[in-house]
Amino acid sequence: MARVAPYVNGQDWDYEFFLDPNGDLKRALNVNNIPHTFLVNGKGEIVYQHNNYEPGDENELYQKVKQAAGK
């Protein structure tokens, strides 16, 4: 965990990241595997979630983002 912040800060990503050192959020959201992706709409509602990763999963996420954006 000590390596995450320096890595992320060095990437100049334009979004926030959060750490869950005690696993409280993980338990509250019933996350069993990582990576676990949540897509949240403007109302703060989870409209899509997916766990694990296989090549091509980003295409499904892209379509869900477009759908959530009404496009």
pLDDT tens profile 38-67: 999 989 999 999 999 999 999 999 999 999
Angle at 34 between CA 2 and CA 3, to 5 degrees: 10
Backbone angles phi, psi at 11, to 5 degrees: -90, -15
Domain extents for the chain? 10-68
Whole-number Å distance between alpha carbons of 15 and 27: 23
The neighbour count for residue 56, using CB atoms within 10 Å, is: 7
Which CATH superfamily includes the segment(s) 10-68? Glutaredoxin (3.40.30.10)
- Split at pLDDT 50, 70, 90, the class of 34 is confident
Full-prediction pTM beyond 0.85? no
Say if residues 61 and 39 touch (Cβ distance below 8 Å): yes
C-alpha 54, offset from chain centre? 15
